[in-house]
Structure 1
Amino acid sequence: MSAAATSPHDGGLGPLPLDRIRVTGLKAFAHHGVFEHERENGQLFVIDVEVRLPLGPAAGGDDLASTVHYGELSEQVVAAVERDPVDLIETVAERIAAVALSWPAVRETTVTVHKPSAPITVPFDDVSVTITRRPTPASPAAAQPASAPEGPA
């Protein structure tokens, strides 16, 4: 399936464009990291998540069920960060991408995980990992038309 999804609402003009919903600066305290002191003490992680989906159907019908509820998405992202510790923020980013892609309307997501207190011995402002993912053929977003009423899977 292409990144843009076709819809019966497109008037035969082709695929609907992908729009963006962004939530930036989500904060979660978690115990991820390679070092024992990171696992014991924990630290703050800051998350930016962007989802791309056609927003025309939701806007046209003023219908929350046809989009992504960014409040619920934010809660799901923070819960994903705060659960079981892993070594790498790359793994945390993949976990968050899976959460974002569980919303059937989402056609692509970009996730940035910031680790501002990373154990680095030289002065720095931030360490982050950014990934972009699309649904796989078996994921909920790949199986649903973009204009279907949606919510978390």
Structure 2
Amino acid sequence: MTDELDEITLHGLRAFGYHGVFPHERREGQIFVVDVTLRCDTRAAAASDDLADTVHYGDVATAVTQLVTGDPVDLIETLAARIADALLGFAGVHEAVVTVHKPDAPITVPFDDVTLTIRRRRG
């Protein structure tokens, strides 16, 4: 079935959070950027043209940003796992791919971005 799945992708969801292992990250916070891809079967939605037959990406965006702005965690691995778990809770989502960007990570050399990508499947 996974070969027959379609993808809904949201790029660049931005939210301010207080995640990190250092005290200044917890105190001052920073912007996190999240990309998500949901693997699901969209054939019923295409046939019916009804929002009820697909994954509402507005609801997905809200859920992701609520997790970023919510309870802080030390690692972006933990944040990404929480996001993936929430996405798999949406009806019709069989697999979730989550990339968390931490563009202001506390690194002492010049860099563009730090990312972590995880893939999780239902079941």
Instruction: Give the TM-score of the pair, scaled to structure 2.
Output: 0.97
Equivalents in 2 of 1:134, 1:63: separation in Å? 25
Partner of 2:2: 3
Equivalents in 2 of 1:128, 1:111: separation in Å? 10
Give the deviation of 1:3 after TM superposition. 3.2
Equivalents in 1 of 2:74, 2:6: separation in Å? 33
From 44, 49, 63, give the equivalent of 1:76.
63
Structure with greater Cα Rg: 1
The structure with the largest helix share of the pair is 2
Identity %: 56
Q: Spell out structure 1 runs of 4+ moving beyond 3 A.
A: none
Total equivalences in the alignment: 123
The structure with the largest strand share of the pair is 2
Instruction: Give the TM-score of the pair, scaled to structure 1.
Output: 0.78
For 1:107, what is the secondary structure of its paired residue?
Answer: strand
1:28 paired with 2:15, answer yes
Q: Give unpaired runs (5+ residues) of structure 1.
A: 5-16, 137-153
Equivalents in 2 of 1:69, 1:48: separation in Å? 16
User: Which residue identity lines up with residue 120 of structure 1 in the other structure?
Assistant: I
Equivalents in 2 of 1:110, 1:66: separation in Å? 21
Q: Give unpaired runs (5+ residues) of structure 2.
A: none
